[in-house]
Amino acid sequence: MAVASPAHAEYTMIPDEPRTITASGLASRVGGVLEGDGDCVIRGVATIEDAGADDVTWVASPEILPRVANSRAGVVLIPTDCAAPEGRIVIKVHDPDSAVCKVLAFLAPPRDVVPPGVHASAIIEPGAVVDGAAVGAHVYIGAGVRIGEGTQLYPGVFVGMNTVIGRDCALWPNVVVREGTTIGDRVVIHPNATIGADGFSYLQRDGAHRKIPQIGTVAIEDDVEIGANTTIDRARSGVTRIGRGTKIDNLVQVAHNVKIGEHCILVGQSGVAGSSVLGRHVFLSGQVGVSDHRKIGDGVQVAGGSAVLADVPNGQTVRGSPAIGAVQFGRREVALRKLPDLIKQVRELSRRVEELEHGEGG
C-alpha cells in the first residue's frame, strides 16, 4: 500500500521565469571560444532559418556556413576550423551539434518531476520494493516488483507483478508494463505505451482461433527509449528483446519473440512481426513493415513505407513493397516513368515491322 506522500509543495517544481544566458555564459557552458559581443542575451535555440535575435543557432559543418548570411540569429555556434562570418557573434566549438544539445538542456523550461517516495493515491502490492524510486499519483505496482533508485513513475502507470525496472528510468503517464518484464537502467517509456501484452498467436481448429498461451516475457536493455502509444508484446515463450541503446518512436508495433539488436532506430508507425531478428544499428524508417521470422542484418537501412518480406544481409539498403535493393528500386522507378512511352513505342515499332513484312517499307 501507499507508504508516504510528500508535501504537495514539493511535488513539482514551481515554474521559473524563462531562462536566459549571455553569449559569454554560453561560450563557457559549451567550452567554446567566443568572438564578438559577450553581453548578447539568448533565450532560445532555433534553426538557421527560424532563429530570431535572441536565439542561438548552429552550423554543423563548414558547407552550410553561407546560409548564416540570411539568418537573424543572435549567436552562431560554428566548427573550430571555420572563419567567423563578418559582423556575427560566434562561438567556435569542436562539435556544434553536441554543443547545441548542451544549450537546449540548459534552456529547457521546467517539467513535471515525480518526487522520491510514494504518492498517497498510489497502490503498491505486498513484496514490491520501490525504495529510492518516485511513484506518482494513481500508480499501480504489482506484487514482487523491484524498481531502482531514481526511477520516476508518472501518474497512472501500471507495473505488473515481478517486473524489474532499473535505475534512473522514466515511465511517463499511463504507461502499462505487464508482469515479469525486465527493464534496464536509464530507459525512457513515453505515455500510453504498452509493454508485455500478449503476443498475437492462435491455433486454427474447427474453424475457430484458439489462443496460444503467451508465457514469455519482455526484456528492455539499458538506454532504450520507447515512444508514446508504442506496443511491445511478450514472447510466446522465451523473451522479446530490445537491445541496448535502441530508440523506438511512437505507434510502433514489436511483436512476440522479436529480437532487436543494439543501437537500432525504429521510426514512427513501423512494425516488426513475430520472431523476426534485427541486428545492430538497423534503421527502419517510418511506416516500415518487417514480416515474421525474418533476419535483418547489422546496419541495414529500410526506406519509409517499405515492406520487408525477405531476409536482408548486413549493410544493405532496401526499399519498396516488397522491398528490394535501393539501387534496383531506383532503376525500376526510372523505368516505370518510361513505361507509358514504351507502350507507344512498341505499338509504333509493331506497325513499322508489319510494313516491312508486307514490303511497304523502303
# chain residues binding its own copies, by CB under 8 A:
132
Pick one of 176, 260, 277, 318: the residue that binds its own copies (CB under 8 A): 176
For position 326 contacting its own copies by CB under 8 A, the verdict is: no
* Closer Cβ to its own copies, 39 or 49, answer by number: 49
Q: Which of residues 104-123 bind its own copies (CB under 8 A)?
A: 104-105, 107-112, 119, 121, 123
The string of DSSP codes covering 121-182 is: T-EE-TT-B-TT-EE-TT-EE-TT-EE-TT-EE-TT-EE-TT-EE-SS-EE-TT-EE-TT-E
For position 258 contacting its own copies by CB under 8 A, the verdict is: no
Pick one of 79, 227, 261, 297: the residue that binds its own copies (CB under 8 A): 227
* Closer Cβ to its own copies, 83 or 202, answer by number: 202
Q: Which of residues 330-359 bind its own copies (CB under 8 A)?
A: 331-336, 338-340, 342-343, 345-346, 349-350, 352-353, 356-359
Distance CA 290, CA 272 (A): 5
- 89 with 22: CB under 8 angstroms? no
Q: Which of residues 57-76 bind its own copies (CB under 8 A)?
A: none
* Closer Cβ to its own copies, 42 or 90, answer by number: 42
Give the dihedral sign, CA 124/127/128/130.
positive
Q: With residue 29 as reference, give the H or E element that holds it.
A: helix 23-30
**Catalytic-role residue among 138, 190, 209, 256:** 256
**Is 256 known to be catalytic?**
yes
In angstroms, give the least distance from the CB of 125 to its own copies: 5
Pick one of 72, 146, 263, 295: the residue that binds its own copies (CB under 8 A): 263
Distance CA 209, CA 231 (A): 22
- Interface segment toward its own copies; rule CB under 8 A; list 25-33, 45-53, 72-80, 82-90: 45-53
Show the cell assigned to 357: 513484312
In angstroms, give the least distance from the CB of 89 to its own copies: 19
In angstroms, give the least distance from the CB of 223 to its own copies: 8
Q: Which of residues 297-316 bind its own copies (CB under 8 A)?
A: 304-305, 307, 309
For position 33 contacting its own copies by CB under 8 A, the verdict is: no
Q: Which of residues 265-294 bind its own copies (CB under 8 A)?
A: 265, 267-269, 271, 273, 281, 286-287, 289, 291
- Interface segment toward its own copies; rule CB under 8 A; list 29-37, 63-71, 77-85, 204-212: 204-212
| CA count, 13 A, side-chain hemisphere, 360 | 6
Q: With residue 247 as reference, give the H or E element that holds it.
A: strand 247-248
Helices 23-30 and 96-107 pack at an angle, to 10 degrees, of 120
For position 155 contacting its own copies by CB under 8 A, the verdict is: yes
- 276 with 256: CB under 8 angstroms? no
Closest CA to 329 of 309, 311, 352, 306: 306
The string of DSSP codes covering 297-360 is: -TT-EE-TT-EE-S-B-TT-EEEETTEEEHHHHHHHHHHHHHHHHHHHHHHHHHHHHHHHHTT-
Q: Which residues are catalytic?
A: 256
